[in-house]
């Protein structure tokens, strides 16, 4: 059963122009109400999945802006899980923070709860870029927050970087990379800006108000990111993720990329587990509706009223099953994002030798083009194919 939990905290002070994650801008974070709803949902999930007893290996607080919450909020959740299911000997407990919210007292409080990994949304050090992206912080906040984290004893820090935003030049990106690597984080997540439906920046592009970075320049920027981070001792282990060594790879995100079972709690959170009830029902999944007010309203007085039959309608969450071929395709889409590729023995064990044999027949053409390679144990995308990961995966699935 799942030993990786994600908790979604969908509250922000303001919405970033590029953000497609489920979140709402609020003046007051409803800590007590939301905490009660989260714990109520956990009890409900445990009724549906009675085997939910393994100690936690990873716990990730994402958002939204989790750093709007006080340390006591996280302390109560972590203590609750310690009592209910326990933790492994050295769990990874991650908190996302905005540089604008970080101060030394707050960080010490987070550290004392058991949080041992921080993921900070730097995004860019450019004033123009931060304005375009709708961020609340400035470049000085990034360095100040990072130094406060270090001085408070946090030894596992990840920084987010967004690049190829409209108006950014190659030189702008080089300056961002220089400032980022000077801070010497243990991990970096570096993403090209994507234009998601419903976002303010997507509307501005459609209206002709801003112009996206051309694709050839995006490819140059991808190469620049890898070269600069590599020189700084941060090695790519996934399409958009770099770490100082394997011990600083995101264990939580690796669980996603390896398609392991996981529990998601909170408005907009998703979860899933293998049920293997036959080719048409291989995985059970759910996604909670994104409206936090609706979520809390249905869960605040919930324990005695919640349905315990998974076939019964639950208004705040939508469930589905995924068939064998669908999960197989997802395994390829996620696993091939990793530099190490996919373990073929595990693939055969999970999906059967016939599906893997059919896959390797497709792979041979891409192998001839130098895009992918495989041996008896692994299938992986080559260095020359890594920037074309999406199109390679499209050809395989």
- pLDDT at residue 302 is higher than 60: no
Burial of 330 (0-12, 13-18, 19+ CB in 10 A): middle
- pLDDT at residue 311 is higher than 60: no
Check the CA dihedral 53-45-330-234 and report its sign. negative
Q: Which tokens sit at 78?
A: 């972590």
Percent of the chain with pLDDT over 90: 83
Percent of the chain with pLDDT over 70: 96
pLDDT score at 170: 97
Q: Give the chain's mean pLDDT.
A: 93
Confidence of residue 7 (pLDDT cuts 50, 70, 90): very high
Angle, alpha carbons 245-5-256 (nearest 5°): 55
- pLDDT at residue 22 is higher than 70: yes
Chain-centroid distance of CA 98 in Å reads: 15
pLDDT score at 303: 53
Confidence of residue 304 (pLDDT cuts 50, 70, 90): very low
Q: Which of 27-41, 156-170, 308-322 has the lowest mean pLDDT?
A: 308-322
Contact 61, 286 (CB under 8 A): no
Structural domains of the chain sorted by starting position, each given as residue range(s) with its CATH number in brackets? 4-257 (3.20.20.70), 340-396 (no CATH)
pLDDT score at 123: 97
Confidence of residue 310 (pLDDT cuts 50, 70, 90): very low
Residue 26, preceding peptide bond in cis (omega within 30° of 0): no
Q: In terms of DSSP H, where are the helices of the chain? A: 31-48, 71-84, 104-113, 127-133, 139-151, 170-183, 200-206, 215-231, 251-257, 292-299, 324-335, 344-351, 353-368, 389-396
CA distance 337 to 339: 7
CA distance 264 to 6: 5
Q: Considering the entire predicted model, what is its pTM?
A: 0.95
356-379 average pLDDT score: 93
Cα→Cα distances 168→31, 162, 192, Å: 38, 11, 11
pLDDT one-digit tens code per residue, 97-117: 999 998 889 999 999 999 999
pLDDT one-digit tens code per residue, 29-63: 999 999 999 999 999 999 888 877 889 999 999 99
pLDDT score at 312: 55
pLDDT one-digit tens code per residue, 236-283: 999 999 999 999 999 999 999 999 999 999 999 999 999 988 999 999
Q: Give SS3 for 163.
A: strand
Give the residue carrying structure tokens 């023995």. 345
């Amino acid at each position: 059963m799942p030993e990786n939990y994600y908790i979604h905290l969908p509250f922000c002070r303001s919405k970033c122009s590029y953000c497609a994650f489920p979140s709402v801008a609020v003046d007051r974070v409803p800590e007590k109400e939301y905490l009660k709803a989260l714990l109520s949902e956990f009890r409900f999930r445990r009724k549906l999945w009675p085997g939910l007893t393994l100690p936690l290996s990873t716990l990730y607080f994402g958002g939204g802006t989790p750093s709007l919450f006080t340390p006591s909020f996280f302390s109560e959740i972590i203590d609750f899980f310690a009592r209910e299911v326990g933790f492994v000997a050295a769990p990874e407990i991650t908190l996302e923070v905005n540089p604008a919210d970080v101060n030394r007292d707050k960080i010490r409080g987070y550290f004392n709860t058991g949080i041992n990994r921080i993921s900070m949304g730097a995004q860019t050090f450019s004033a123009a870029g931060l304005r375009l992206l709708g961020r609340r912080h400035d470049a000085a906040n990034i360095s100040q927050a990072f130094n406060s984290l270090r001085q408070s004893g946090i030894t596992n820090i990840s920084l987010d970087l967004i690049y190829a935003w409209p108006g950014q030049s190659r030189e702008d990106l080089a300056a961002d990379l220089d400032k980022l690597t000077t801070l010497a984080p243990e991990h970096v997540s570096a993403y090209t800006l994507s234009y998601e439906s419903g976002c303010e920046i997507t509307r501005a592009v459609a209206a002709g108000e801003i112009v996206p970075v051309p694709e050839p320049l995006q490819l140059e920027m991808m190469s620049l990111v890898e070269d600069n981070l590599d020189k700084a001792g941060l090695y790519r282990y996934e399409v958009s993720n770099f770490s100082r060594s394997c011990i600083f790879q995101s264990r939580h995100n690796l669980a996603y990329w390896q398609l392991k079972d996981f529990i998601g709690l909170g408005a907009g959170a998703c979860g899933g587990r293998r049920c293997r009830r036959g080719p048409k029902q291989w995985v059970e999944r759910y996604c909670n509706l994104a409206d936090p007010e609706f979520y809390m309203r249905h869960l605040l007085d919930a324990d005695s009223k919640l349905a315990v039959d998974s076939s019964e309608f639950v208004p705040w969450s939508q469930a589905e099953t995924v068939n064998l071929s669908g999960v197989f395709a997802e395994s390829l889409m996620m696993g091939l994002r990793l530099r190490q590729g996919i373990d073929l023995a595990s693939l055969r064990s999970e999906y059967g030798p016939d599906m893997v044999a059919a896959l390797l027949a497709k792979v041979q053409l891409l192998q001839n083009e130098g895009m992918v390679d495989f041996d008896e144990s692994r299938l992986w995308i080559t260095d020359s194919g890594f920037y074309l990961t999406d199109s390679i995966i499209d050809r395989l699935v």
